[in-house]
Each structure stands twice: as structure tokens, then as C-alpha cells.
Amino acid sequence: MNETSPRGLWQTLRDHSLVSGDLPPSASSPSPWYVRVMLGVAGWIGAFFLFGFVSAGLSFVLVSASAALIGGLLVSAGAGALFRVERDNDFIDQAALALSLLGQLLLIFACYETFSNDAFLLYGSIFVVELLATLAMPHFIYRVLTSAGASIALTLAMHSVGLHGLADALSAACFTLLWLQETAWVRLYSLWRPCGYGLALALFCSPASRLWGLDTLMVQRTGDLHGFMAVAPSLGNALLFAVFFGTALILLRRLRIAVTSRTGCVALASAILLAGVALFVPGLTQALLIVIIGHAACNRLLVGIGLAALAGFIGGYYYTLQTTLLIKAAWLFASGALLIVARPLARAVLPTAVTREEPADA
């Protein structure tokens, strides 16, 4: 029997008395991520045309914020009902996805109409809309999009009041918490898993938009930074550092490795070093977090997102204006050399049971 099939897996668990009874009747297995991405993109395209229909044929919905709000709530409620009622009908499911995205567009339009003069209230209200939508709508793709949207809206809201760097760190903390507690929150599987992917996307997009200057297009803010605003980037960096360090601690505990053991000390020292070096390249800490947590969750998609982010941020680092190319070159070279030197050191210090050589595959 194939151990990778659900039947073989169930049998293995039963042989070890971890489950009892027969294999539960399987619900239809979820599609691979790329099929879901295809459906999500198609959902967005459909939603834009439905929005075109509303703006041209039902234009009374867009004449005022309150009309758009009511329209958005009604459409979202209808889509939510369809998600709950028609779980096995693919057409209804896809239509509900497009409708729910239309509802979101209408609600965002209502936010824009109400708060277009105040960037904080605009992005803050969009954050609330996205957050509530994530909690209310039982749909995987929808939750990925809305949780990413909530995180990006929160970042823009905080940037609009001069608080830079804090939102990214908060998103990184939430992302880490979700993926590292997956067994503890298993009952909320259908909620946290799409949120975990959404936050990974936000962690990828947010520093990228800053690197390419897109955030300044969306948030125009003038005036000096003072008080809490002035220390916010440092606080954000400290929080990112703490998240990275905390991740190392949790992973060590999961592996039953004592912090005071030789392996534990090496792991923590490496985490401190890596997090410290990564803070100087915008986005690098987030990218490394995605890679490491992706590996912890045996999730190649997350690892892939993290590696793509890593490559993107190194490329984007070339264009940042905070410092000269000479300093950037020195940082990159020194941190690269540190990583290379760390390999034989780790091999020398760690127990042989851990460092046993395996055939290399590139």
C-alpha cells in the first residue's frame, strides 16, 4: 500500500494506535496552490467586470458612500451565504468568489468616498474592512487576499502618520505566530492557513513596494518626524529582531534541544548574527523568516516565496538611497563571508549526529 496515499497514511496511523476506525470518507481534496491562484486571478477579473456592470448599470450604488456601503454589505453577505450553502458546486463557488471581491471593491469605494481627505482613516478603515472580511468569509482564496490586504492597509495607515517599520514587524510577528502554532490552532485550520499565506504575501509586497517607491505614491506625508515617529523604525527593527530570535527559541524547543546545550548555543548565536546582519538590508529579515518558517512547516511554497523575496531584496538593495554603494558592497561582502565561515565552524562545533554528511543536491 502506498504510504503517501490517504488510505496508506491512515493505516500507518492506525498501526501505531494514533487513530481508530476506518478511513473517514474524504471530502474532495483541495486543489494545488497554482490552481487556486488561477481561480483567484480569474475571480478578480470577474469582479472587475461586475464592478463595471454596477458602475454603469446600477450607478445609484456609487453615488454616495452610504449607498456603496449598503451595496457592499449586501453583496458580501450574499457571497458569504453562497460560500456556506453551496460548498460542492464549483460554478456557485467561483461566482461567490467574484461577488465577494465585488463586495470588497464596493466597501473600499465607500471608505474612499468617506475618508479621501485623511490617509490614516482611509487605510485604517480599509484595514478594518479586510480584517472583518477575513474572519467572516469561509473561503480559502478570499482569505488569502483579504489577510494580505489587511496587512498592507495597516502598513499604509501607519506610514501615513509617520510610523515607519512597525507594521512590517507586526505582520512578521503574526506570520510567525500563525505558522509556528499550527498544531495548537488546528481547529481553526481553515482560518489560519490562508491568513498565513496572505501574511507571507504581505511580507513580500510591503518592503518591495518601499524599495521601488510605490508606498510614497500611495501615502504623501510631509513634515519632520518627531517623538514616537522618530523611534518607530528602531522599534520595528527591534521587534523584527525579537521575532527572529523567538523563532529560533521555539524551533529549538520543538526539537527538544536545550538552549544551554552546544547545539542550542550555536543556533541562538547564529540567529542573533543573522538577524543583526539582515536588519541592514530592507526586507531581508522578513525574507529569511519566510524561508525558515517554510522549512519548519515542510512547505516548499513558503520556502519558494522566501527565496524569491531574498533575491528581490538583494536586487532592490542596489537602488536604495540610504547609503552609498561602497557601504552596501562592504555589508554584502562581509555578511556573505560571515555565512561562509559559519559553515565549517558549525560543523566543527555541532555533534556528528546532526552534521552527518548526506549526498548534496543542488
Partner 1 sequence: MSLPQRTQLLRWASQGRLDSRSLPAALKLVRATPTPAHWYRFLDRLALWTGLIFMASGVIFFFAYNWQAMGRYAKFGLAELLLVVTVGACWKLGLDKASGKASLLAATLLLGALLALVGQTYQTGADTWELFATWALLALPWVLIGRFSGLLLFWIGLLNLSVVLYLQTFPGRFLWVGLIFGPEEHFRVLFLLNSTLLCLWELGARRIDWLQAHWSRRILATAGGVFATGLALFAIFEFNRGDLFNLLVYLAWVAAIFLYYRHKAFDLFVLAGTVLSLIVTITALLVRLLHSHAGSSLLIGLTVIGLATAGGLWLKKVAGEMPT
Least CB distance from residue 41 to partner 1, whole Å?
Answer: 6
Least CB distance from residue 161 to partner 1, whole Å?
Answer: 34
The verdict on 320 binding partner 1 (CB under 8 A) reads: no
The verdict on 224 binding partner 1 (CB under 8 A) reads: no
The verdict on 318 binding partner 1 (CB under 8 A) reads: yes
Count CB atoms within 10 A of the CB of residue 137: 24
The residue to which cell 501615513 is assigned: 160
Residues 142-201 that bind partner 1 (CB under 8 A): 182-183, 186-190, 193
Residues 238-257 that bind partner 1 (CB under 8 A): 251, 254-255, 257
With 0-12 / 13-18 / 19 or more C-beta atoms within 10 angstroms meaning exposed / middle / buried, residue 161 is: middle
Select 183 or 222, whichever has its Cβ closest to partner 1: 183
The verdict on 9 binding partner 1 (CB under 8 A) reads: yes
Select 10 or 241, whichever has its Cβ closest to partner 1: 10
The verdict on 31 binding partner 1 (CB under 8 A) reads: yes
Do 270 and 328 touch, CB atoms closer than 8 A? no
Q: Which of 141, 115, 174, 117 is nearest to 38 (CA)?
A: 141
Interface segment toward partner 1; rule CB under 8 A; list 25-33, 155-163, 215-223, 232-240? 25-33
Hey, what's the cell of 87? 460548498
d(CA 82, CA 97): 9
Amino acid in the structure at residue 95: A
The verdict on 260 binding partner 1 (CB under 8 A) reads: no
- The region that residue 351 occupies, defined by phi over 0 for left and psi between -120 and 50 for alpha, beta otherwise, is beta
Residues 47-106 that bind partner 1 (CB under 8 A): 47-50, 52-53, 56-58, 90-91, 93-95, 98
The verdict on 304 binding partner 1 (CB under 8 A) reads: yes
Residue choice 146, 151, 286, 299 for contact with partner 1 (CB under 8 A): 299
Least CB distance from residue 68 to partner 1, whole Å?
Answer: 17
Residue choice 72, 111, 325, 349 for contact with partner 1 (CB under 8 A): 325
SS (H, E, C) 181-234: CCCCCHHHHHHHHHHHHHHHHHHHHHHHHHHCCHHHHHCCCCCCCCCHHHHHHH
Select 321 or 326, whichever has its Cβ closest to partner 1: 326
d(CA 340, CA 360): 17
Select 238 or 314, whichever has its Cβ closest to partner 1: 314
Q: Which residues contact 73 (CB under 8 A, 6 or more apart)?
A: 103, 107
Q: How far is CA 135 from CA 95, 150, 152, 172, 279, in A?
A: 20, 11, 17, 19, 32
Residue choice 1, 32, 63, 230 for contact with partner 1 (CB under 8 A): 32
